[in-house]
Structure formats: C-alpha cells, structure tokens
Amino acid sequence: MNVSTRILLVDDEPRFCDSLAEILSLSGYLVTSAQSGEEAVELLTKDVFDLLLLDVELPDMLGYQIMDHLKGENSGAATIMLTGNATVTTAIEALKKGAYDYLKKPVDHDLLFKTIGKALTHSRLEQALRVSEERSKTMAEASWEGIVIHDNGQLLDANKQFFDMFGYQENELLGEQILDNILPAVSLPEVRLRIKNKTFGSHETIGLKKNGEQFPILTSSRHMEYRGKKVRVCAIRDITERVKAEQEKIELQKQVAITNKMETLGLMAGSVAHDLNNILSGIVTLPELLLMQMGENHEHRKIITLIQEAGQEAASVVSDLITVTRGATAQKRVWDANILVRNYVATTKEKGLDSQLKDIDIMLDCECRVSNIYCSAVHINKILMNLIGNAAEAINGKGMVAVSTKNISLDHPFLGYELIAAGDYVVISIRDDGPGIEEKSLKKIFEPFYSKKVMGRSGTGLGLAIVWNTVHDHDGFIDVQSDGGGTTFNLYFPITDKAVEEEADSPFIEQYRGCGENILVVDDQEKQQKIARTLLDSLGYKTDTVSSGEEAVNYIKMKEVDLIVLDMIMDAGINGRQTYEEILKINPKQRALIASGFAENDEVQKTILLGASQFVKKPYSLAQMGQAVKQALSQT
Ligand SMILES: Nc1ncnc2c1ncn2[C@@H]1O[C@H](COP(=O)(O)OP(=O)(O)OP(=O)(O)O)[C@@H](O)[C@H]1O
Ligand SMILES: [Mg+2]
C-alpha cells in the first residue's frame, strides 16, 4: 500500500512536475510538489516525507543541497535524484551524499515505481537499524553492567560502564589483550581456562582496577557473532556491595549465635551454681563443727581442714558462677569511670602487686572528663581484676598492660566482636603486649569454663564469662582485638547525663582532678603561694604564682589562664577586687576564684558581682580547694 507514503517532488518544469505528480497520486502516493529549492526547504520544515524526488538542477540551488535540510523526522527520508543527461555527474555527487539512486529524464514509469519501492524499503531498513542500534547503545549505556566483546582476551568493544568500572578512559584498551589488565593473578588461570574450554554462563571472580584495587565481580558470558567472527561477549557486574552485605549478614548471624550460646550457658551456669551452693554449705560448715569437737592433736584434723579449704575454694567458684548469671549484679549508681579505673589501678599498684604482676608495667591513660556511667563499682573492679589478671597471665613475665578510658560516639552500629549499637559510650580499654589470642580460641573465650590454663592453678574459665555478663548487665558491649602483638579488650558502657551523687562524708579527691588547666595564684604571701601551688599541682593543674595585683595584670596581658585564684587583701598595691576589675578589661570572660583569710566582706561581694565564682576561706583543705576550682572551671 502506498496510501500513507508521502512524497515531496521538486522540479522547476511545471509540466513534468504535474504529470509525474499525477501518475504518482494515481498509484496512491501522497504527493506534494515544489518548483524551487527554497519552496522545498520550506515544506521540509512543516511536513514529514518518506521520499524525496529531486531535480538535480533547480534555479536557486542544486537539488542535493536540499538533502542538507533533512532533519528530525525527515532525516530518514529516502532520496531519488531526477536528472537530464547533462547533470549525471551532479547526480553521482548526490549519491555520495546519501541519495538512494538517480533516474534519467524522461522517467521510465516502471523503473520509477521500482526504484521508489526499493528506496523506501532501503530507508525503512536503515531506519529500523538505526533505531535498533540506538536502542542497544542506550541499553548498554543505561545498564550498570560493563559489557565487553573480546576475542580470546583481545578487546574488540566495550561500553562506558566497563571503562568506568575498571578505571580506564573510554576506549583505552581497545584492540589490546586485556585479561592481565582487568584480572589479578588469582583470577587469571580460571578465566583463561573458561575461555579455552568455551565455558559460558555466570562466574564470580575478582576484578582488578587500573589503580591496583581489587573488587568482586560477577561475569556472565556467551558466544556472539561480531563482524563475521565468533567472539565472546561478557557482562560484568561490580558486586562489592552485595558481597559486603552478605559478609555482614554472616557476621551478624554468628554474633546472634554467640550471644544466644552465651546466654544459655550463663543460665545453665546460674542454675548449677544455685544447686551447688546448697550442697556446698554442708561441706563448708560441717568440717567447722567437726574441728570444734576434735582435740587439737586429732589425727584427722589435717584432712578435715583440707576438706574445709577445698569447700571454701569451691564456694568462691560458685560465687563467680552466680555473677555469670545475668541480673546478679550489685547496686548500681552514677560513677565517673575515670575514678573507678584510677582507684583500681592505684590499689593494684599499691598492693606491691603479687608475684604475677611484679614484672608488669601497668600504664594508665584516662581521657580528661569522660562522661559518667551508671554502674556497679564492685563489678567494674571485678572486670578490671579479670582482664588485668588475664593479661598478666598471658604475658607471663615482663610486659605491659595499659588501661585507658575515652568517650566514643557511634553514629552507626559497629560490628566488632559483637554488634555494638549506635550511641554514646565511655570505653574502658585493657591492652596488653602478650602473645595474643589465636582466631580459633577468640570465638570461645567468653564461654563459661573455657580456659587454656591449668585447671585448679588458675583457670576455671569463668573470668571472661563474668566480664561478658557484667558488661551486658550494664547494657554495654565488648569488642576484642588480638594479634601476635597483644590483645585489647574494649568495653563500651553507655553514658548517663546524670551527675555523680556526692558522698558528703568522704569527698573523693579524684573527683576534683584537673586536666592540666592553667591557674594563676595571686597572693602576697610566699607561703600561701606555695601551699596553693602544691595543692593545685597535685590535683593535676598547671599553676603559676604572682605576689601582687599589678603583677597579675601584667601576667594576664602576656598569657591566658583558665582560672585566677585571687587573694583579697594584699599588703601593697591594688586589692583583689581592683585586680579582677583590671583583668576583666583585658579578658572580659576571665574566670576567678576568691581565696581569702577574711570572712565575706563588701569587697568580696563586689568581686563576686563582677563574676568571680566562689569564695574559699583560708586555710582550705585539698577537697575544699579542689571542689571550688572544679566548680569555677565548669562555669561558662
Ligand atoms: N589477654 C589475654 N591474652 C591472651 N589470652 C587470653 C587473654 N585473656 C584471656 N585469654 C584466653 O582466654 C581464656 C579464657 O579466659 P578466662 O579469664 O575466661 O579464663 P581463665 O583466665 O583461663 O580462668 P579464670 O579467669 O577463671 O581463672 C584464657 O584461658 C586464655 O587462654
Ligand atoms: Mg581469667
């Protein structure tokens, strides 16, 4: 059917044009005619045509120049040139430009229809091919797979994704043998074998980027005919994200299994402990009765004492077992983790350390001002005792154990030894330079009764089970890192924004410890300067002293300090209030604390109104001064 075929006929001879138009219309073509190039170009901008019949020589232009205006929907239109003898060379020129054929005038009608038919078929095929090429190009470009066509490893073609995925410029490796470029040594033999054996289908392997980075890929290959050759086409997917997600899933499953196992074992240990406790009370108390009834020199006294001691030892194991059972922790309250850690380490050092710890350097590295945690001090001590003890046992001789604290904020859950929830934590770390824990054992160390030590001498294998359950009982988490260079246990305790409850009767000096803040003591008495300096230095501050208000003002001009401890009445020169007034002119935010031998008087009141935070009466105790300084420093 020619009904829908639209023809633009361009010829400047009206008679020829009309007769040809009529012939074509009678055959069902929709014909529009134009007598000049300009008219034709105009029509091409308004209408869509399937075919152009162009006279080679028009008054205003050469016919083939009209072809330059075939754009948009008209770009696929077929063109046939109509020519008199004299213009055949120009017609040939038109063919080079993409015209389908030329017909000599006068036109043979049969030949005209045949040529039109062939030209239309040709242009439709061309159009279809163009669409298909565009489609496959778009598909290839839109796909996130790299697509490579290669012949035994020689790159014949590839899409942009392939070059992007492997970090090459587009077309960079074309024509080259690329297997060595895109596969690391581990993947090469298998891929070569697949190519050699003509193995197709999916294959997971490792890819190599231009920058040397390796990444997991999934390839899917098949045979294809390409420019007359049988070649291999291969779709490559970067599966880094998938592999990562799978690994995370496996890790999580392992973690869930560990936690479940730990809980079951904990419960089991707890119920065993409960039964054992009842049984043991007989073994612990009855020998005592027997011993009371026996004479001093009774022949069985020694044996019964041994029974009694064994019973007591068993009872202490049972008490550990009870701690392993979740929920058995003692009363909790708000603590500054640094205080607990410092105290524990100090007492361990003080004890002169038993033989096991004598060659071990215990180092302490507390981050200043860690947040508070809600915990049981007894149990934190128990944790430290077990972890420091384990470290010392592992080192077995000379070595180092470092105990540290720091604040850590996790934006996302973090997969360590277990999955650690996002949140704000105080992390207590115990690091040793012992031999480390091998991977196989690492999975088991927290299980109750898991021990590599000689049973009875040390090693019931409950130490880390206690640590695990205690930390979890505090809603905390544990991470362990271990290699040949040593082991680190990181214990994550959730922070609390509640304040430490003051214990009025025993103010904890540790609570007032500073973090190296600079303090300037202004006092005209040398003795007072010395006292203040010794005291503040011992609390961890950096102290400087001056003997007059004027000196203090000059000092502040040279150097900033966090706090000034100010005497009110000084023998010569300006007094405390005047000094503070002058200093505020230099630094309006300067914090100050009044230390004076006299009760609060007018000058003191005025100084407080200026912004000084506190009044400490001389003579002051370490705790009083410590508390006042801490409070003054915490004011903004
Ligand atoms: N810091 C460490 N370095 C090397 N190995 C360690 C360390 N901490 C623990 N282990 C290993 O983990 C095992 C389990 O420790 P855990 O504290 O639970 O039991 P234990 O120390 O053997 O016995 P217990 O603590 O009951 O006396 C230890 O036997 C040891 O093999
Ligand atoms: Mg132990």
Is 333-496 in CATH node 3.30.565.10? yes
Report the pLDDT value the prediction gives residue 98, as an integer from 0 to 100: 80
Domain 513-634 has CATH 3.10.450.40: no
Predicted pLDDT at 506 = 45
Given pLDDT bands bounded at 50, 70 and 90, which one contains residue 403?
A: very high
- Cα–Cα distance, 548 to 328 (Å, whole number): 59
Same topology, domains 333-496 and 513-634? Answer is: no
Q: How far is the CA of 480 from the centre of ligand 2 (A)?
A: 15
Residue 267 reports pLDDT greater than 80: no
Task: Give the mean pLDDT of the chain.
Answer: 84
Q: Which of 244, 180, 241, 171 is nearest to 207 (CA)?
A: 180
pLDDT at 456: 52
Average the pLDDT over 316-320 and give the result.
73
pLDDT of residue 558: 93
Q: What is the distance between the alpha carbons of residues 451 and 453, in angstroms, rounded to a whole number? A: 5
Average pLDDT over residues 590-617: 79
If pLDDT is split at 50, 70 and 90, which confidence band does 465 have? confident
The number of the ligand 1 atom at minimal distance from the alpha carbon of 446 is 18
In terms of CATH, what superfamily is 143-238?
A: PAS domain (3.30.450.20)
Mean pLDDT check: name the lowest of 318-327, 477-486, 501-510, 583-592: 501-510
Q: What is the pLDDT of residue 107?
A: 85
Fill in the DSSP letter of residue 404: E
Q: Does residue 461's CB lie within 6 angstroms of at least one atom of ligand 1?
A: yes
By CB atoms closer than 10 A (0-12, 13-18, 19+), residue 217 is buried
Residue keyed to tokens 């038109």: 94
Reported confidence tier of residue 324, pLDDT bands at 50, 70, 90: low
pLDDT at 223: 87
Q: Own/partner pairs for 395-398, CB < 8 Å, 24+ apart?
A: 395/360, 395/432, 395/433, 395/434, 395/435, 396/434, 397/359, 398/359, 398/360
Could you say which ligand is closest to the alpha carbon of residue 458? 1
Question: Does residue 487 line the site of ligand 1, with CB under 6 A?
Answer: yes
Ligand 1 atom nearest the C-alpha of 448 is 18
With a cut of 90, say whether residue 154 has pLDDT above it: yes
Per-residue pLDDT averaged across 387-394, rounded? 92
How confident is the model over 403-410, as a mean pLDDT? Answer: 95
Report the sign of the C-alpha dihedral through residues 500, 503, 507, 510, in that order. Answer: negative
For the stretch 86-101, pLDDT in tens is: 566 777 777 777 888 8
Q: Return phi, psi of residue 498, to 5°.
A: -75, 150
Read off the pLDDT band of 84 (50, 70, 90). confident
Residue 449 reports pLDDT greater than 50: yes
User: In the predicted model, is pLDDT for residue 196 greater than 50?
Assistant: yes
Token pair 């009363």: residue:
331
452 CB within 6 A, ligand 1: yes
Indicate whether residue 449 lines ligand 1 (CB < 6 A): no
In this model, does residue 83 exceed pLDDT 90?
no
Ligand whose nearest atom lies closest to the CA of 437: 1
Looking at residue 1, what is its pLDDT?
47
Residue 526 has pLDDT above 90, yes or no: no
Asked if residue 259 has its Cβ within 6 Å of ligand 1, the reply is no
Q: Which atom of ligand 1 is nearest to the CA of 486?
A: 3
Alpha-carbon gap, residue 457 to 355, rounded angstroms: 14
| Ligand found nearest the CA of 435 | 1
The domain ranges of the chain are 6-139, 143-238, 244-324, 333-496, 513-634
Q: How many angstroms is it from 400 CA to the middle of ligand 1?
A: 17
Taking the centre of ligand 1 as the mean of its atom positions, its distance from the CA of residue 466, in whole angstroms, is: 11
Report cis status (omega within 30 of 0) of the bond before 189: no
Q: Which residue has the higher pLDDT, 590 or 278?
A: 590
pLDDT of residue 74: 87
The token pair that represents 49 in the structure block? 């045509």
Which ligand gives the minimal distance to the CA of 324? 1
Residues 6+ apart with CB under 8 A from 203: 190, 191, 194, 218, 219, 220, 221
pLDDT band, residue 210 (cuts 50/70/90): very high
Report the nearest atom of ligand 1 relative to the CA of 466: 18
Query: Which pLDDT band holds residue 503 (cuts at 50, 70, 90)?
Result: low
CB half-sphere exposure, 231, CA atoms < 13 A: 17
Mean pLDDT over 200-224 rounds to: 92
For the cut 80, the answer to whether the pLDDT of residue 570 exceeds it is yes
- 6-139: CATH topology: Rossmann fold (3.40.50)
**Sign of the CA dihedral running 298, 304, 309, 312:** negative
Contact 179, 197 (CB under 8 A): no
Ligand 1 and 459: CB distance under 6 A:
yes
How many residues appear in the chain?
Answer: 636
Q: Which of 151-160, 389-398, 489-498, 508-517 bottoms out in mean pLDDT, i.e. has the lowest? A: 508-517
Mutate to test the pocket of ligand 1, among 262, 320, 400, 445 (most ligand atoms within 8 A of CB): 445
Burial class (CB in 10 A: 0-12, 13-18, 19+), 268: middle
Considering only CA atoms, which of 408, 422, 413 is closest in space to residue 248? Answer: 413
* pLDDT for 136 beyond 50: yes
> In this predicted structure, what is the pLDDT of residue 350?
57
Read off the pLDDT band of 509 (50, 70, 90): low
What is the amino acid identity at position 272?
V
